[in-house]
Amino acid sequence: MELLEHLRQLGFTSYEAKVYIALLKQENATGYEIAKLSGVPASKIYEVLKKLQEREVIMVLDGDPRRYIPFPPDEILNKLKTHYLGSIDFLQEKLAEIYRRDNPDQHYIWNISGRENSFRKLREMIAAARQEIFISVWAEELQEIHQTLQSREQEGVKIFMVLFGKSPYTFRRTFHHGREHEIRQERKARRLAVVVDNTSMMIINFKDEGPTTAAYTYNQGMVLLTNDYIIHDIYTIKMQQKFGQEAFSIFEKLE
């Protein structure tokens, strides 16, 4: 049952979730009635009710027999949200301090499989940018991340983009590559490269035939190499714009 699964993710046991749902359906019930409604064994019901009472999920009404009523769902969920968000904010800061202190080199490279997982991490990196983003991207992939990038640019993050192909989504610092056909023929794939604040980088390979794969790292050597690769493309594009066809001959494929 989907409700039970989501409640378990919020810290309820299976029995606790069943009891709370049963009380929402029929509040002001006795322990015996709740056991019948929820399917929780009678031998366990009062133990479960006591734990829910201690967590202020339900309230007990004195009497003989005792009866139980649930706190409203919005109160419970708001309390859980505050609790979890507070813990996440605390851990985000403290664990990051430990991570930076204990891992000064940040030399690992993490691999990701699948288009959806790759874009999820890419959006996280873009959202974390504070100063600048260097990105080399094809029009097909820009379509999926343009809103995230535009919101960051509006917030003052500088975006330097090398764009492969034609796209209706442009940015203040967009440089059109112009050699998409040749590159696509050579690679049989598209590549997205991004560097965020000169501290992290990610490369995603989108194959014409085959799975999408990606890698990201905080390794400074890889970050600087990827950043230089994107900047090199920007300067190459500027030279081509200034010198026209003559510049193309300088960058012909090496034999």
Average pLDDT of the residues in 237-246: 73
* 142 and 243 inside one domain: yes
Examine the pLDDT at 93 and tell me if it is beyond 80: yes
Q: Considering its fold, how many domains does the chain have in total? A: 2
Is residue 121 a part of any domain in this protein? yes
Are 133 and 27 found together in one domain? no
80: its two tokens: 């859980």
Residue 100 is assigned to a structural domain of this protein: no
Can you tell me the mean pLDDT for 143-151? Answer: 92
- Residue 166 sits in the same domain as residue 220: yes
User: Burial of 150 by CB count in 10 Å (0-12 exposed, 13-18 middle, 19+ buried)?
Assistant: middle
65 with 179, same domain? no
pTM: 0.62
Which range marks the domain in which residue 66 is found?
A: 2-71
Note whether residue 57 is domain-resident.
yes
Domain boundary among 71, 97, 120: 71
Average pLDDT over residues 74-79: 92
Same domain, 62 and 111: no
**137 and 200 together in one domain:** yes
| Residues 17, 99: Cα–Cα separation, whole Å | 36
Average pLDDT over residues 211-229: 92
254 DSSP assignment: P
Which of 44, 71, 98 lies at the terminal end of a domain, its last residue? 71
pLDDT surpassing 60 at residue 245: yes
Q: What is the pLDDT of residue 254?
A: 44
DSSP per-residue codes, 7-73 = HHHTT--HHHHHHHHHHHHS-SEEHHHHHHHH---HHHHHHHHHHHHHTTSEEEE-SSS-EEEEPPH
Q: Which residue has the higher pLDDT, 235 or 134?
A: 134
For residue 46, give both structure tokens.
């009062």
Mean pLDDT of the chain: 87
Q: How many CB atoms lie within 10 A of CB 138?
A: 21
Q: Which residue has the higher pLDDT, 25 or 92?
A: 25
Domain harbouring 170, CATH code: 3.30.870.10
DSSP classification of residue 125: H
Lowest mean pLDDT among 49-58, 90-99, 102-111, 244-253: 244-253
pLDDT digits (tens, 9 = 90+) for 29-65: 999 999 999 999 999 999 999 999 999 999 999 888 8
Judgement on whether residues 63 and 133 belong to the same structural domain of the protein = no
Residues 57 and 113 in one domain: no
- In this structure, the answer to whether residues 142 and 212 fall within a common structural domain is yes
**Considering the domain boundaries, does residue 99 fall inside one?**
no
Task: Give the CATH number for residue 13.
Answer: 1.10.10.10
14 found inside a domain? yes
The DSSP bridge partners found for residue 193 are 136, 203
In this structure, are 160 and 222 located in the same domain? yes
Residue 157 or residue 235, greater confidence: 157
Residue ending a domain, among 49, 71, 93, is 71
**What pLDDT shows up at residue 99?**
67
Does residue 178 have a pLDDT over 80?
no
Mean pLDDT of 122-130: 93
The confidence band for 1, taking pLDDT boundaries of 50, 70 and 90, is: confident
**Token pair 């209706």: residue:** 168
- Tell me what pLDDT residue 255 has: 47
Phi, psi dihedrals of residue 56, rounded to the nearest 5°: 60, 40
Q: Can you tell me the mean pLDDT for 106-125?
A: 89
Residue 253 pLDDT > 60: no
CB 42 within 8 A of CB 30: no
By C-alpha distance, which of 47, 39, 41, 36 is closest to 18? 39
Q: Is residue 206 part of a domain?
A: yes
- pLDDT at position 177: 80
Residue 13 is assigned to a structural domain of this protein = yes
Let me know: does 9 contact 39? Beta carbons within 8 Å.
Answer: no
**What tokens does 50 get?**
């006591």
Q: What is the mean pLDDT of residues 166-183?
A: 80
In a domain, 61, yes or no: yes
Q: For residues 248 and 255, what is the distance between their CA atoms, to the nearest angstrom?
A: 15
Q: Which of 201, 131, 190 is nearest to 159 (CA)?
A: 131
- Do residue 63 and residue 123 come from a single domain? no
Q: Are residues 17 and 133 in the same domain?
A: no
pLDDT category, 156, cuts 50, 70, 90? very high
